[in-house]
């Protein structure tokens, strides 16, 4: 329900609380309508409407079962299924096109309002980050809502001192490339259990040790000491540190191995 706007811990009568109530109502309406339309008598209605309802509910059930079996998922994995709700709303609005307002259109209006309001509130949070907001940036992104502001000085240092290629853990890697307009490329690395290239978040070109020539760097959070456990990261020199991040320089690219697909 988080994708619909549900916010755990929100006060009932706050804007987030209203979004959460609408989210619960919206998801139940979507599932209930898809079931109702699938089992109702078809009559002269086109099969396309029944197909939309069937494919949404079927995809939701199958994907949920896969997640339950594997135990490995994030909420945004449901996005390909939830986009089908747009088609469900269209079917609802078209249910009684020549009659007065009926229940299907009311349901469509409720779902549409829930999505628009949730989108507006979430966008406001992402842009302004208001104090006391119940939302926490997890699942779809990082767990620290101030990460971009905190990493900007380190990104600026790298760009100003001629560093063009380095390494960082998942959440820090793409942010620096974005903040430097692509001037600083960072290869995402993971530790599952041996530190390696991230299979799913690294350009294939980065796997070639000859992709970059010259000095490289490792960007880490200030209190992160996990890198000291890996012999492959020995021999570096710390060249930068602030209240949030530190940068370690290496004279050449680090010969990591590509991680398995199951990382």
Q: What's the pLDDT at 163?
A: 95
pTM: 0.56
Residues 155-160: contacts with CB within 8 Å, 24+ apart?
155/179, 155/180, 155/184, 157/240, 157/247, 158/184, 158/217, 158/219, 158/247, 159/183, 159/184
Q: Give the separation between CA 203 and CA 102, rounded to whole angstroms.
A: 52
Longest Cα–Cα distance of the chain, Å, equals 76
Domain ranges of the chain: 2-128, 147-250
Low-confidence ranges of the chain (pLDDT < 70): 1-10, 41-46, 71-76, 95-101, 122, 124-145, 192-194, 258-263
Q: What's the pLDDT at 237?
A: 93
Q: What's the pLDDT at 73?
A: 62
Q: What's the pLDDT at 144?
A: 62
pLDDT tens digits, 60-87: 888 888 877 776 666 667 778 878 878 8
């Amino acid at each position: 329900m988080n994708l619909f706007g549900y916010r755990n811990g929100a006060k009932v009568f706050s804007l987030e609380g209203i979004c959460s109530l609408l989210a619960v109502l919206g998801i139940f309406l979507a599932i209930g309508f898809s079931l109702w339309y699938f089992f109702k008598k078809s009559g002269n209605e086109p099969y396309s409407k029944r197909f939309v309802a069937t494919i949404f509910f079927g995809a939701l059930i199958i994907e949920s079962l896969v997640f339950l079996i594997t135990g490995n998922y994030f909420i945004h994995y449901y996005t390909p299924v939830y986009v089908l709700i747009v088609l469900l709303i269209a079917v609802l609005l078209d249910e009684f096109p020549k009659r007065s307002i009926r229940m299907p259109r009311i349901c469509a209006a409720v779902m549409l309002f829930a999505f628009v309001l949730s989108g507006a509130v979430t966008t406001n949070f992402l842009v302004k980050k208001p104090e006391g907001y119940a939302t926490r940036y997890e699942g779809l992104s990082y767990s620290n809502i101030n990460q971009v502001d905190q990493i900007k000085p380190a990104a600026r240092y790298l760009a100003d001192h001629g560093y063009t290629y380095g390494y960082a853990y998942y959440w820090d890697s793409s942010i620096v490339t974005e903040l430097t307009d692509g001037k600083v490329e960072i290869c995402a690395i993971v530790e599952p259990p041996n530190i390696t290239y991230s299979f799913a978040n690294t350009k294939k070109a980065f796997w070639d040790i000859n992709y970059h020539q010259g000095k490289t760097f490792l960007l880490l959070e200030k209190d992160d000491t996990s890198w000291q456990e890996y012999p492959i990261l020995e021999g570096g020199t710390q060249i930068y540190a602030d209240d949030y991040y530190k940068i370690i320089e290496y004279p050449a690219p680090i010969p990591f191995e590509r991680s398995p697909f199951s990382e």
